[in-house]
A and B are shown apart, each in its own frame.
Chain A
Amino acid sequence: MLDQHSPLGGDARFETTGLTMREAGGFMLIQYSGPERVLLRELSVEAAFGKNEKSEGRTFFRINSAQIWVIGKELETRHSSITNLSSSRCRIALFGEKARAVLQVCAAVDFSRASFATGAYVMTGIHHTPVLVHCTGPESFHIYAMRSFALSVWEWLIDAASGL
């Protein structure tokens, strides 16, 4: 097998009081595209926008009316178009009591517990680049950053954390 290389080197990690950030690679991201009713039927999900859905080890994110991202193994579909995006995104995990505060520095989204609870996700921008932020637990999050911008986003996050 050819060597794999991560945009953050695979072992990127940043720790400070109340916050840990690390690269969380090794995931599959598959995009399914198609008419809405076809998508929902073939993937057997409701997939409300802004709230993830989980099923058989997969996590579903509704990206727009015609596209759903699935973290997990590829599903067989007959009519939906499938695009593998596993290399296109770098996943950064944040956790700790300061995680929400870091995110609040980065994007104009209400990341408070009341508004952004476990399972919530949002497509927004960090450091001028598009990202998907997913709340995976009360104080833990995943950021899916574009691979080519990942190092810049990572450096931006560290800088944001340094200012808390």
Chain B
Amino acid sequence: MSFRRLTSGGRLDRDKSVKFRFNGKRLKGLSGDTLASALLANDRLLVGRSFKYHRPRGIVGAGVEEPNALFTIGKDGTEQVNVIGTCLELTENLRAKSQNAWPALSFDLRAVNQLFAPIFGAGFYYKTFMGPRLKSWMFYEPHIRHAAGLGKTGTQGTAARHNTRNAFSDVLIIGSGPAGLAAALALAGTGVSVTLAEQDFELGGSILSSQNENLLAWREATLATLNRAENLRLLTRATVQGLFDGNQAIIAIGGTMVESLRARTIIFATGAVERPLVFDDNDLPGVMLASALRTYANRFALLPSKRCIIATNNDSAYETAFDLVTLGATVMIADERNGIAGELLAKSASLGVVVFAGSSIAAVAGKRRIEAVMLGGPHHVRLSCDLLGMSGGWSPLVHLTSQVGSKPQFNPSVQAFVPGPLATGHYVAGACNGSFGTLAAINTGQAQASAVLAALGKKAINKTDVPPLEADRGLAILPSVSPSKSRFAFVDFQNDVTAKDIAQARDEGYTNIEHLKRYTTLGMGTDQGKTSNINALAMLANLRDVPISQVGTTTFRPPFTPLTVGAIVGRSLGQHFRPTRRSPLHDWHEQNGATMIDAGLWKRAWYYNWAGKTPHEAYLKEMELVRHNVGLSDVSTLGKIDVQGKDAAEFLNRVYVNGFAKLAVGRARYGVMLNDDGLVLDDGTTSRISETKFYMTTTTAQAGEVMSWLEYLLQCHWPDLDVHVTSLTDEWGGMALSGPNARQVLERAFPEEDLSDSALPYMAVKDIEYEKVPIRILRLSFSGELGYEIHCPANFTQGLWEHVLKMGASAGLKPYGLEALASLRIEKGHVAGLELDHRNSLDDLGLGKMASSKKSFVGDTLRMREDMMAPERWSLVGLELLEPGKKLRGGAILFAAKDEIKGHGRGYITSVTWSTDLQIYVALGLYQGGLAHENEEIIAAFPLKNEKVRLRIVSPHFIDREGTRLNA
């Protein structure tokens, strides 16, 4: 046993035993334990294997700094990996497994890697797996990934529900150690809203690891005040995982909640973590941070069983030694310094602590756990022990300040990086700023609270109580010199980066710390270098013979501690992954045999079961209905924009390539608009409702983009125009009534209206009222047949749809879906989303003649660029299949008949359909040179299915080129 559990003391409830399993073994801990302390209480020093060498690893720390004690939690496919055992509260029936060991933790075959350590140094992968061929990495990668890694996530995912929420606060205090508590105490009752976030399950930070009764009493009294204060929100198990612009803090709370908190001000009271010392085999289980030994003793009542050695280069470790001795342990100190303060030596002597001055750790002995240490320096002795505590100084936790732009600065007096200049509204208190004493933490916490109040325009506070404590002592730290040739002197435990790796990387030219990080993997992984960075920086500085401040730091990135993907995703999964958009006719479609299809966020009726069971069977029947009788289709998803104002006509005249200034009231016009780069943005029909009011329609896909574009033009380019645009896409529903018998149905639906060809000719628009509902009838045709679009407010669209269907029933009117709608337009040669892909010019789409030469419009200059006018551009063609029995496919690559079928060809098929009129496959496509090649026979290749067919280039207007049908 390395540790023994004391029968009293600690922050444990000895009446509440907690059962848990580790690697399948049933174990017991106490309420108040962490998983780590419970394992130590059960003498489980060996808890995992290292990343690269599979060396046996034990618990090093007692908090967020822990690099080794990462566990897989859960069972039956819901396993969660990389849970930090030192932060995980022990709960009943917890199941924990060690990671990175095969077949067993105690017997890991991959530990053979240690034998290859001489060749596994820095950059091994980069140098070794480059060849022999270009794609060799593809071969190696799965094997390497199988051998390495930190745990294996369960395949089932977590059953837990992950919630998210937003919160706001005047002040966010991060950390509840003495600085954080003092700041919160000072702000209690001041009226400003305060959120205190603490990652532990108890408030108190380093106080929880103390046995100073005055300090513990102060904590109790402070918490009592804080709990009474209505302006404070105290969060435990709440880790600030990241800080972002606008003081947005992402706080993971209790594993199943992520809070996005916006704070006006932030007090960073994140504290500091102790640094390890670097010596040979410093990763042996039982070698721990000195501060961790203190925490396990005072908080978890776990005392070294026999003898404990403390190795240090500073004064802070003496606190640990004195606390352990007070509780009954035998402690010796190996202090690298010769000039040790007299009062420390005197106190050590009085407590029976033997101090070896000027002594470092030369070597450690033991196989699976430490058994002895050999001291270097003047005292060449072997000391048997069951634990070794290291103290290499302290590293302020500057991760969060760095995330919001404060570059850490080196403070030589504490041999540590502290936050640099801070942004407005940010304050640092306590050890995070290098003020390592408890009194300093309390005082700076209070001072920063005062500063916050002043910044928020509140009255200053009276000084709050400070516990009666001994004056803080400085660290008196002597920078340690790490070995640079030892094979297993670890700097970064989590990534198996040794002192030798760093020296080697430097020798190979990686003198910049960011380069060194990537070459060696130092500071990566779940701990983000919390214990390793400063030692590595010091080593590199020594090797380069420059001050540490010149070496700088690497970039600290969120999350601060491991965070599950589930927590990040929150409730954005399944049907909530993205919103679904439904037309006002959605319910009708579902109730009347429509098969729905996604079209962007929209759900659209694809085809109806009256026409067939398969989409192919159904859309052809629906096409025939429209070509030979009459059909009704939901076009509510089209973009609809209200354009009003006395300059509305002028505005549209500038937006569209063709003229709109003289469009008569009651008439509609097809228009095309360009982006300012001269490429086609969208097309659609715009109707003039009155002198100052227009009704624009856009394609479904581009509705949002066009709306934004119009707003941008009005706000940024033409603020002088009196024009107001409003999206009506949701306000108005619409239906297309198409087919030779469309007018007959329309007249039955609205018997009071004159809807004859003369009263409502092609491209005319008429506003009517039917049963007090405003209805807009536009005589347009997307299908090429006689057609009308009937629009009305969305609340009435289903009622109108049902009315029209009822009136058309005797004529054989039935609904048709998106597939037929999109196919009919191919036969007619209308371009749509597949052709309007933001890469084509007007001329590419055969629309160049629409561009007015008498006015200026958006894109008119850049559309004339040389490359845009090049005759060899891919432009719109019609395509007819020449091989009956074969099939055309969208996306097929087009080649000239003489071409080798290879590469990107001369174009591709954009849209394809079976033509019910022509009884062949027809398609639209983009082809190099376009209709200059009319009547040429070409090849369409579809490599995915190894297909090749012959085609002929024809006009894209396959039917009714004269427009007889739509003008009927």
A interface, CB within 8 angstroms of B: 1-7, 9, 31, 33-35, 66-67, 81, 83-89, 101, 104-105, 107-110, 112, 115, 127-129, 146-149, 151-153, 155-156, 159-160, 163
Contact = CB atoms under 8 A, between A and B. Distances in A.
Contacts of A5: 584, 587, 795-799
A153 B728 CA distance: 19
B168 interface: yes
Nearest to B579: A152
B168 A115 contact: yes
A87 B726 contact: no
B645 A112 contact: no
Contact of B795 (A87, A115, A160, A163): A87
B386 to A, nearest CB: 48
Given A107-B166, A110-B168, A83 B642 contact: yes
A159 B730 contact: no
A81 B794 contact: no
Contacts of B642: 83
A146 B803 CA distance: 25
B166 A108 contact: yes
A88 B772 contact: no
27 contacts: A2-B800, A2-B803, A3-B799, A5-B796, A5-B797, A9-B587, A33-B644, A33-B724, A34-B724, A85-B728, A86-B795, A87-B733, A87-B793, A105-B164, A110-B168, A127-B576, A128-B578, A128-B579, A147-B794, A148-B581, A148-B582, A148-B602, A149-B581, A151-B582, A152-B579, A152-B580, A163-B163
Contact of A84 (B580, B729, B793): B793
A88 B730 contact: yes
B164 A83 contact: no
Contacts of A89: 730
B731 interface: yes
B132 to A, nearest CB: 49
Contacts of B166: 104-105, 107-109
Contacts of A67: 724, 726
Contacts of A81: 644-645, 692-693, 724
A143 to B, nearest CB: 14
Contacts of B571: 156, 159-160, 163
A101 B166 CA distance: 9
Nearest to A112: B168
B101 to A, nearest CB: 37
A2 B770 contact: yes
Nearest to B775: A2
Interface string B564-580: 00000001000110111
A109 B799 CA distance: 38
Contacts of A87: 584, 730-733, 793-796
B828 interface: no
Given A2-B773, A87-B795, A147-B730, 13 more contacts: A1-B773, A3-B802, A4-B796, A4-B799, A33-B644, A35-B722, A87-B733, A101-B165, A104-B165, A110-B168, A127-B576, A146-B730, A148-B584
Interface string B695-725: 0000000000000000000000000001010
Given A67-B724, A85-B726, A108-B262, A3 B798 contact: yes
Contacts, number: 127
Interface string B237-269: 000000000000000000000001010000000
Nearest to B246: A108
A78 B587 CA distance: 40
Given A88-B730, A108-B262, A148-B729, A155 B168 contact: no
A147 B793 CA distance: 11
Nearest to B645: A81
Given A2-B770, A86-B793, A153 B724 contact: no
Contact of A147 (B163, B167, B584, B724): B584
A102 B692 CA distance: 43
A47 to B, nearest CB: 16
Nearest to A101: B165
Interface residue tally of chain B, by bracket?
35 or more
Contacts of B316: none
For the complex of A and B, the 9 pairs showing the least CB-CB separation, nearest first, are A2-B799, A33-B724, A88-B731, A3-B799, A81-B644, A152-B579, A87-B794, A110-B168, A87-B793
Contacts of A160: 571
Nearest to B637: A148
Contact of B579 (A104, A109, A112, A127): A127
Contacts of A155: 575-576
A120 B876 CA distance: 54
Secondary structure dominating the interface of B: mixed
Nearest to B643: A81
B161 interface: yes
B771 A1 contact: yes
A83 B799 contact: no
A46 to B, nearest CB: 21
Contacts of B583: 148
A75 B780 CA distance: 33
Given A7-B584, A89-B730, A163-B163, A2 B796 contact: yes
Interface in B620-676: 642, 644-645
A34 B723 CA distance: 8
Contacts of A4: 795-796, 799
Nearest to B256: A163
A155 B772 CA distance: 33
A31 B727 CA distance: 11
Interface string B794-826: 111111101100000000000000000000000
A163 B800 CA distance: 40
A117 to B, nearest CB: 15
A35 B645 CA distance: 10
Contacts of B602: 148
Nearest to A110: B168
A163 B576 CA distance: 14
A31 B730 CA distance: 14
A88 B799 CA distance: 16
Interface string B916-936: 000000000000000000000
A102 to B, nearest CB: 10
Contacts of B731: 83-88, 147
A94 B161 CA distance: 23
B664 to A, nearest CB: 20
Contacts of B693: 81
A90 B727 CA distance: 15
Interface string B147-171: 0000000000000010111111000
Given A2-B773, A87-B732, A31 B168 contact: no
A77 B731 CA distance: 21
Contact of B580 (A115, A151, A163): A151
A4 B390 CA distance: 76
A81 to B, nearest CB: 4
A129 B166 CA distance: 17
Contacts of A153: 579
A149 B575 CA distance: 13
Contacts of A33: 644-645, 724, 726
Given A87-B732, A129-B579, A149-B579, A105 B168 contact: no
Interface in B718-752: 722, 724, 726-733
Chain B CB within 10 Å, residue with most, of A34, A112, A148: A148
Chain A CB within 10 Å, residue with most, of B579, B692, B722, B770: B579
A115 B262 CA distance: 14
B853 to A, nearest CB: 32
B570 to A, nearest CB: 9
A105 B163 contact: yes
Contacts of B584: 5, 7, 87, 147-148
A101 B167 CA distance: 10
Contacts of B798: 3, 5
A106 B582 CA distance: 21
B730 A148 contact: yes
A47 B772 CA distance: 32
B729 to A, nearest CB: 7
